[in-house]
Chain A
Amino acid sequence: MHHLDITGLEARYGEHTVLSGIDLTVGRADVIGLIGPSGSGKSTILRVLMGLLPPVGGTVKLDGTAVNYADAAQVRRLRERIAIVFQQYNLFQNMSVLENVCVAPVKIKKRPRREVEEEARALLAKVGLGDKLKRYPDELSGGQQQRVAIVRALALHPEILLLDEVTAALDPELVSEVLDTIRLLAKEGMTMLIVSHEMAFIREVASRVVFMAGGRIVETGAPAQIFDAPVEARTQDFVSKILRH
């Protein structure tokens, strides 16, 4: 049984179809790299999975059980198992780094504060932010903020982590510190769906690469196959363009 099983997924923004016929299976500890031109629907898949955009067709199964996105209680339970990190970090500006990480586990999941804080300190130290606990988001660099956002998602103990272009808003010299963090997670066996334009990174870290265009999956395969020997013309075109540049 697959961890996450997406079949025939379809989504629209108003009249505009943004996803059609998406089939994707994700096993435990898989790292799926979603690549493709802007507007191809990569980020939309993540938004649909999180219940931020209700699908109009198809099914999403988590451990074999279909999720009904119209049912708020089911969406809430789903969000206890899947977490997402956004391109713009979206940290709570009014909270310190430590509070950003602790607020949901303590206030929403009602876990004991001491235990959560201890875990948060350890996680923040692991991503190199052990000395920034009392800082506020506007006092940190983009790369630091994004690492806080990743830790904030991890503190919820998700089974699956969705990363939505998490390095796209960063200055080039800050990208690597965030990628190091993700590498670490991959090594620890975290199941991840990563939308990214960092092709070299996807190639290195992904167990499978999905190439999308126009709201559809064009081609899926091992990183080496997609980047070195793509089958579809559309993929060849995309890959040749990014390799040339």
Chain B
Amino acid sequence: MSYTLQFGQIWPFLPRLLEGAVVSLQIAVLAFCGGLLIGTVCAGVRSFGPRWLARIVGLYVVFFTNTPQLVQIYFLYFALPDMGILLSSFMAVVIGMTLNAGAYLTEIQRAGFESRRASEMEAAEVMGFSRIQQIRYVILPHVARVLFPPLSNQFIIVTLGTSMAAVFGVEELTGEAFNINAQTFRSIEIFSVTAGIYVVLTLAASVGLALLGRAVFRARTELI
């Protein structure tokens, strides 16, 4: 049995794949930004907060980093409606991925917080900085610089993870690929083009983030 590649048949569907790619990016950016916010607060709590609160954050991290993301989203999508909380599949995926990313980003940032320089904090302390001000002016900028590469990496992981949304019928890149496949049965062509789009997305993201990191860090410190 031989299979003849016929890319010609799927080119008309390219705009739909690209629309799907935009939805994928939306999910990725929402989940990553939400996760970054959660992660920053939680990492702050774990490093500097009261012990009982740090423990709660610890449980959150353990739960979300030790259960499959798919199961977490299933729970939001199918279990919450029983409690009267109805989510669209898009929202369920975004919230699920945000909580998941939040847990990983907590761990990544905690490592960054622990790389803080005690001596700089002491200098800030004797200059009258409060704890919050020390975090704001001394720790976060330093940590941002140390953490930029692993955070960029996590963004790529989140972007690729959005393909999970297809399972819930969200018409993002993989979801669109499923749909087009069902119409045309040109599986190899569809999924190789889809894979190609993911590669372009992630490469563009890595290069963009690297340039951003280089531009922002020295520049941003001037702004304080």
Contact = CB atoms under 8 A, between A and B. Distances in A.
Nearest to B129: A108
Contact of A103 (B122, B125, B145, B224): B224
B138 to A, nearest CB: 6
Of B122, B124, B128, B224, the most chain A CB neighbours within 10 A belong to B128
Contacts of B7: none
Interface string A99-114: 1000110011100000
Q: For chain A, what secondary structure do more than half of its interface residues adopt (helix, strand, loop), or is it mixed?
A: loop
Interface residues of B, number: 22
A83 B142 contact: no
Nearest to A109: B128
Contacts of A136: 218
A108 B117 contact: no
A86 B123 contact: yes
Size class of the A contact interface (CB-based, 8 Å): 20 to 34
Nearest to B136: A107
Interface string A72-99: 0000100110011010101111111001
A149 to B, nearest CB: 8
Contact of A79 (B126, B137, B138, B217): B126
Contact of B120 (A51, A79, A93, A156): A93
Contacts of A202: none
Contacts of B126: 50-52, 79, 83-84
A96 B220 CA distance: 11
What 7 pairs between A and B have smallest CB-CB spacing? A90-B123, A94-B141, A104-B127, A90-B119, A108-B128, A94-B221, A94-B142
25 contacts: A51-B126, A52-B125, A79-B126, A79-B127, A86-B123, A90-B120, A90-B122, A91-B120, A92-B120, A92-B123, A92-B138, A93-B117, A93-B142, A94-B138, A94-B142, A94-B221, A95-B141, A95-B221, A95-B224, A96-B221, A96-B222, A99-B224, A104-B124, A152-B127, A156-B128
